[in-house]
Structure 1
Amino acid sequence: MCRYPETVAHIDLGIDEKQYPGIIGLRMYRPETAKPLYDLADVLLRAPNSLSRGERELIAAYVSSGNECDFCRDSHSAFAAAQLDGGLPLVRDVCVDPEAADISPKLRALLRIAAAARVDGRHVTADLVAAARAESATDLEIHDTVLIAAAFSMFNRYVDGLATLAPEDPKAYEATAVRIVEHGYTV
């Protein structure tokens, strides 16, 4: 079952949506637009950075949770869980209440920035940035947090705006998590 009871995307993707849910089906439908999107995700979530890959995936999962995008929340939760010591319980705790989750003060401050950017970029204030810097966040980490939040808000709207399938079973995302961790997002 998925978020949309008819389990059919708003447009004919020409694929079996159960086999290719969410953005995976959209990638197959329009590979020429998928490539730059996947390249962006690869740079933001996997390229060398002082934030770990798991932390960046956690930001993507958190933003997707706030946007109520089931597919992106569940897939990036699985990707983060595969790369963080706390696994899926930690990811779920962050998505429910990052203030109470067992994460570093720096990551908590960056998640506040991500939450603000998710709503409206103008909600990212000098105070939020100063608070992140006070927890030792670098300008690159702040930049990438805002860009992850902005990009995932777009991805969330893309996936949900076309009513793609989102499997409810978290196990449906595990095989993809292994592939993403090993090989990344590049098409």
Structure 2
Amino acid sequence: MPYIPLDENLPGITGLLNYRQDTALPIRQLTQILLRGESTLTEGERELIATVVSNGNDCQFCTNAHTAAANVLLGETETAEKVKNDPDNAPVSEKMKYLLEIARQTQVSGKNVTSALVDKARNAGVTDLEIHDTVLIAALFSLYNRYVDGLASVTPTDPAFYDRLAGILKSSGYLPSPNRYAALNPEV
């Protein structure tokens, strides 16, 4: 049960963003830039970063939501599961493995991102902008994970909910729009 009154039809971060729309807008705008804006990383790769950070923070809502989004964007389900559970054998590039490790280390503490790790990433072809954006995505999703869990937001258990949410994120991104979450309710 959430610690504050939230729209029961908007679980997870959706209800929290709806609760305080003035703070939600800049959060949504930053997320849109990082996960859907121009980048040398695909949208699916950026969703993988959100997935591994949320998984590392044990935030079930965000892990499920961004795993589903990564799956939809990548067109398969193996990669997201492997980056969460068996990253060394995940079907991603060496460059992406370093970015995911930077994300994991950021999730634990920004101080865990070492110059040695950054140098290894650069040697694998990672750019400064990709390092920057990975650290920022990891920090942002650590904030989201704490926001969702810190207010005890509702976490659906039905995988179909996350599939519907992933479809919204793929087609509409992260910016607000009228009736944005109408598709989350299966009775609509």
How does the TM-score come out when normalised to structure 2? 0.91
1:142 aligns with 2:131: yes
CA distance in 2, matches of 1:58, 1:166: 20
**Partner residue, 1:12:** 5
How far did 1:88 drift?
A: 2.1
Over aligned residues, Cα RMSD in angstroms? 0.9
Secondary structure of the structure 2 residue equivalent to 1:9? coil
Partner of 2:146: 157
Read off the aligned partner of 1:12 and give its amino acid letter. Answer: P
Q: How far did 1:99 drift? A: 1.1
In the alignment, is residue 22 of structure 1 matched against residue 12 of structure 2? yes
Distance 1:27 1:115 in 2: 25
Specify the alignment match of 1:3 in structure 2. Answer: none
Bigger shift: residues 102-111 or 88-97: 88-97
- Cα offset, 1:170, TM superposition: 1.8
Unpaired runs of at least 5, structure 1: 1-7
Q: CA offsets per residue over residues 159-183 of structure 1, 9 Å max, x none?
A: 0000001112222111121121111
Deviation, structure 1 residue 11: 1.1
Does residue 39 in structure 1 map to residue 29 in structure 2? yes
The answer to whether the aligner puts 1:81 opposite 2:78 as a matched pair is no
**Which residue of 137, 158, 161 maps to 1:172?**
161
Residue 48 (structure 1) aligned with residue 19 (structure 2): no
- Give the deviation of 1:146 after TM superposition: 0.4
SS state at 1:127 partner: helix
Cross-structure match for 1:62: 52
Q: TM-score, normalised by structure 1?
A: 0.91
Q: Determine the C-alpha separation between the residues in 1 that align with 2:86 and 2:103.
A: 14
| C-alpha separation in 2, matches of 1:151 and 1:143 | 12
Matched residue of 1:185: which SS? coil
- The alignment partner of 1:83 has SS state of helix
Cα distance, 1:102 vs. partner?
1.3
- The whole-number CA distance in structure 2 between the counterparts of 1:182 and 1:146 is 25
Report deviation, 1:93.
1.1
> 1:5 maps to which residue?
none
Aligned equivalents of 1:52, 1:142: Cα separation in 2: 14
What does the per-residue CA deviation read over 1:3-39, in whole Å, with 9 as the maximum and x for residues that have no partner?
xxxxx101112x22xx211010011111111111111
Residue equivalent to 1:184: 173
CA-CA distance at 1:46 after TM superposition: 0.4
